[in-house]
Every structure is written in structure tokens, then in C-alpha cells.
Amino acid sequence: MSFHRISKECFDWLKSQPKVKEESLTDWFLYQLDKRVPNVISKTFTRNEEAKNGSDWEWWFLTNDSYDRRLRAYRFLVQAKKLKSDTYEDNYPLIAYANRNGLQIDLLTQEALYRRAMPLYIYYTVQQPDIEEQLKNIDYLTEKELRWCSTCVNGCFLSSAFSVKDFVFDSPRRKIESKELVDRAFGLSIFDLVLKDAANADRLLKQFNQAFLEERRKEDMQLGGITYYGKEIPSYVVRLCESKENPDFSQEQYRELAGLSGIAVFDLRD
């Protein structure tokens, strides 16, 4: 139950040290994924504080195609946010954060659409969700999956950045409470259920792919999802999997990864 332990330990850390920095949590989180979760390989880079793509790291999920066994991969851009610890504090400034390149959430979603990657937020928080609200707001996980972990304590939650953007900006400016955000997210611990079963993992990844395609249609962009096959998969992903730890990337590979703090590959192949 690696994801359970990581998420609970994040909760405990936030509870005991509420002022811990978001960057420290992110560095710790990526390290924990690499060291404690089977078949996860990661590499960190020097952080770019004025990142032009609005994301902290890139995640890849590798699977086998069920028909012809080709290598298949799904791409995600992930941005971390430490939510306010007080239930009634306003998180709007966090979501509406901007640097000289623009609104971070716009940079994240636009870069994701361009790079064919699903944009996600990972929240660090002590706030716990209401399962009934989650069931209303989350359609890419089944009720069984959400209820499986409804009593688990999580300090890490995942949410589609597209849905966050719609929720926060499709209405007049107002206070955004932490609970409202986690009610639209799912606990990291659910990965212990979903990712251990290849069929369930593939179903979830395909759901994200469909959500991404729908966003591309809204933007009137040429179709192309977050699913990659064979030679479409960037060489740096293959290089990381082959070396397993601290690979030497080429200059071209580093250019492709510019602006990211790290990359993690979840190898779900048989």
C-alpha cells in the first residue's frame, strides 16, 4: 500500500509542520515515489522558478496494448499546490497565481494541449473530502473505487486542471475553500487499487484521454490524445526506463524537458 503510506505521511507532516514549503513537499513526494513505489522511475532537475509551461513535473504511464502488445504510454503535466490549512481561508490566489509569463493555470493547460498531455493538480492538504460530493464531481473513477478509500486519510489529492479552471474561473471572483477543491479531487491512496490492476489502470487512463480530447475539441484543435505508441514516445522516457536511475540525457532531450522540475515514469507493463 505504497501510495497510502506516502499520502498519509504527507498529511502527518502538514499536520505537525503547517508552514512546510510547497517545494520541500514536492521534492520529498517525488523521492518517495521513486524509492517506495514498485516500477516507478524518476529524475529531478534544477527548478525553473519562472517556468513557461506552468508545471512542476511530467508523468508517463507505460502499458501494453491489449490487442497487439505494442508499447503504449500516457502523458501528464503535473502542478503541485499546497492548499491553505485553515478550512475557511481563500485558495483563489493560489489557483490564480501568475508570473511574468501569465496565469500559471493558463500556462499549464495551454502547454498541455500543445504537448498532448493531461494537466493535473496535485494538492498537499490536511483537508479531507466529502465522499458524496466526490461522487457528484468525479466521473473518471467508479463509485466503487471512490468508496474503496473513502475512510482513508490522505495528504495528497489529484484533480484535472481543466475542471479546476472551469470551477474557479467560470463564475465571478469568490473565496475558494480547500474543501471545495478536494471535493473535486481524489486521494492518492486510490492509486493502490487502480494501478495494481492493468485493466482498471487502462480504463482510468483512457478516461483521461477522452477528457483531454474533449478539451481539444473546445479549442477547435486538431485531434490527438495523450496516448502515445512506439516511436511516438519521447526518447528521454525510454532512456530513463533503460537506465533505471540517474541517466545521462542528451542536450536535445534536456531541451525537451526544459522548465520541468522532474519526470516520473509509472511502468505498468506486464
**Domains of the chain: which residue ranges?**
2-267
Average pLDDT, rounded, for the chain: 89
User: How much is the pLDDT for 50?
Assistant: 44
Give pLDDT tens digits for 116-165. 999 999 999 999 999 999 999 999 999 999 999 899 999 999 999 999 99
Q: Give the pLDDT mean for 55-82.
A: 85
**Interior CA angle at 160 toward 146 and 80, to 5°?**
100
56 falls in which pLDDT band (50, 70, 90)? confident
Evaluate if residue 245 carries a pLDDT over 80. Answer: no
Q: Give the pLDDT mean for 188-203.
A: 89
Range in 41-55, 86-100, 150-164, 241-255 with the lowest mean pLDDT: 41-55
Backbone angles phi, psi at 264, to 5 degrees: -130, 135
48 falls in which pLDDT band (50, 70, 90)? low
Q: Are 119 and 160 in contact (CB under 8 A)?
A: yes
Reduced DSSP (H G I as helix, E B as strand, rest coil) percent helix, strand, coil of the chain, to 5: 45, 20, 35
User: How much is the pLDDT for 87?
Assistant: 78
